[in-house]
Structure 1
């Protein structure tokens, strides 16, 4: 399971002209990719990592970095099979490493459910839909997480 995590100052996802998920203020926008071997345990591990990883700067420049759990910061979680695209050969990427929808959707849902169980405020996109994602990257700051 792979996630591209961006520290943001607001993000939203729109499907067919309708906002289906939005966070305001500082938080994380998380693009989640699932491969064939991923499990519910890995989804839970990714959720714990997203909730606890210290990606936010300390207040007033002093003290340790902070996490979503420290701040109560929201997360916008979007499924993105293209994270397992491979464009090393030829001019077209292949998607062979990406899990099919019936495998991937429940695991992305599990990441969201586990985050909510931990106390996170989580907004989402719509699995399999053509989504338009808007965000303000704060930094810019982007990190790749794999479990």
Structure 2
């Protein structure tokens, strides 16, 4: 399971010009699922994200987690994180999980984040979405449950 995490001042996701999810400050998560991901991958990344110290303290050091700092999560499914661009000019998405498996694990991931007391907004799984955000910092990290 892969997550591209961006610290954000505000963000929203729209589908067909309708806002489906929106946050003020917090984290934007682009979430990709591969074939052999399990609930262990879900729980590992949810815990890592909830406790990751990427918000500044009073000394401007990254010492606070989202739980310490406060803020919300905008979680967006994104199978293209498993695109393989090594050959040719068109990405190969064979490493992305099938939609039914990916949606189930994506929903479990969001539920695991909510279990930490975090507010989680989402887009619409499998839809063409527009994601807008103001990246804070900028802070962007790539997390992979296999690392």
TM range (shorter): over 0.9
> Superposed, which structure 2 residues align to 1:40-59 within 5 Å?
40-59=39-58
**1:88-127 map, 5 Å:** 88-127=86-125
Distance 2:48 2:81 in 1: 18
The runs of at least 4 consecutive aligned structure 1 residues that moved more than 2 Å come to: 59-62
Q: Which residue number corresponds to residue 131 of structure 2?
A: 133
SS of alignment partner, residue 90 of structure 1:
coil
The whole-number CA distance in structure 1 between the counterparts of 2:136 and 2:70 is 17
RMSD across aligned C-alpha pairs, in angstroms? 1.1
Number of aligned residue pairs? 145
Q: State the partner residue of 1:17.
A: 17
Cα offset for 1:128?
A: 0.2
Q: Secondary structure of the residue that 1:61 maps to in structure 2?
A: coil
Q: State the shift of 1:73 in Å.
A: 1.6
Tell me which residue corresponds to 2:81: 83
Q: TM-score, normalised by structure 2?
A: 0.95
Task: State the 1:60 CA deviation.
Answer: 4.6
Q: How does 1:57-72 map to 2 (within 5 A)?
A: 57-61=56-60, 65-72=63-70
Shift of 1:113: 0.3
- Return 5+ residue gaps in structure 1 as ranges: none
Q: CA deviation at 1:117?
A: 0.9
